[in-house]
Amino acid sequence: MTTTTAQMTYREACRQGLRDALIADPRVFLMGEDVGRYGGCFAVSKGLLDEFGPERVRDTPLSESAFVGAGIGAALGGMRPIVEIMTVNFSLLALDQILNNAATLLHMSGGQCAVPLVIRMTTGAGRQLAAQHSHSLEGWYAHIPGLTILAPATIDDARGMLAPALADPDPVLIFEHGALYNTTGDLSDSGAPVDISRAAIRRPGRDVTLITYGGMLIRTLEAAETLAAGGVDAEVIDLRVLRPLDQATILESVARTHRAVVVDEGWRSGSLSAEISARIVEHAFWDLDAPIARVCSAEVPMPYAAHLEAAALPSVDRIVDAATGTMRDG
């Protein structure tokens, strides 16, 4: 069977995923700040109110705790809500609902009360939105049992992760990187479902494993090309699913390359990169020919000034330097 492709932006792919979900299941509805008439703060839901009406695309008051709580209640009542939170920083206002209710109700009810809720939010820096709109806190949420954490980095994943997330009986958080919305790529029309349980090898290689996710995938792939020009063949893993981590894919790759670099837009201390590094050491220590390297954001509130923001974020040059460092150490 021939697979066709269509060019679209990451934003359009997210919108198409929402539209597909609203068409497929009458229980699905979208709710959040400005998702209706305004079309979403990042224009992801633009046009959906006109197509599906205010019962299916619902604007909410500016209270994350309230509308996330309403989404939990709707999920408990048999609906399939998609809750949009403008940015990950603002999700902290709903952390009580997410952690103490959505993630725990199934356990605390002895398996009686599943919460099939999807929460979408924008994450990441690179757009000069300063410290209250630019942080990457996915690793915080990946710490919480009871949640599935997704980080789509490609056009196909941006569209295709939503359907299996809605089919999950437990709460799923989807982190869309704001710097990706205007990026363009090919959307596959194969109709194949997206696997939200496995990482993806975006570039095979034999010399070093580069492990990343979300907005850092593009930079990591660019770093891999730079490394290739210098004779270093890097394998690039797109984690895609931050909880539960696909540990098997990571360990199998490290067993082949014997070196690892973790690229994480989060802060270094207590980060997802630290968890991944620990697991590699616990389960693949004897496969390593060099210490694990990490490339993370500077441990400061994200600056507004463009040159300072760029300096705070993982860069292609820093990724290349970390990878070549593992080659020297080995």
Residues serving a catalytic function are 64, 133
| 307 secondary structure, DSSP code | H
| Dihedral, 182, 250, 270, 263 alpha carbons, nearest 10 | -40
How many Å separate Cα 90 from the centre of its chain? Answer: 16
Q: Tell me if 155 sits within 8 A of 13, measured CB to CB.
A: yes
16 conformational bin, left if phi > 0, alpha if psi -120 to 50, beta if neither: alpha
CA 46, CA 37: separation in Å to the nearest integer?
8
Residue 58, both tokens: 């619902």
Instruction: For 262-278, give one letter per residue: b (16+ CB within 10 A) or e.
Output: bbbbbbeeebbbbbbbe
Residue listed under structure tokens 């048999």: 78
Encoded amino acid at 299, one letter: E
CA 2, CA 13: separation in Å to the nearest integer?
21
Encoded amino acid at 191, one letter: G
DSSP 4-71: PEEEEEHHHHHHHHHHHHHHH-TTEEEEETT-STT--TTSTTTTHHHHH-TTTEEE--S-HHHHHHHH
Residue 226, both tokens: 């730079």
Residue listed under structure tokens 């029309």: 189
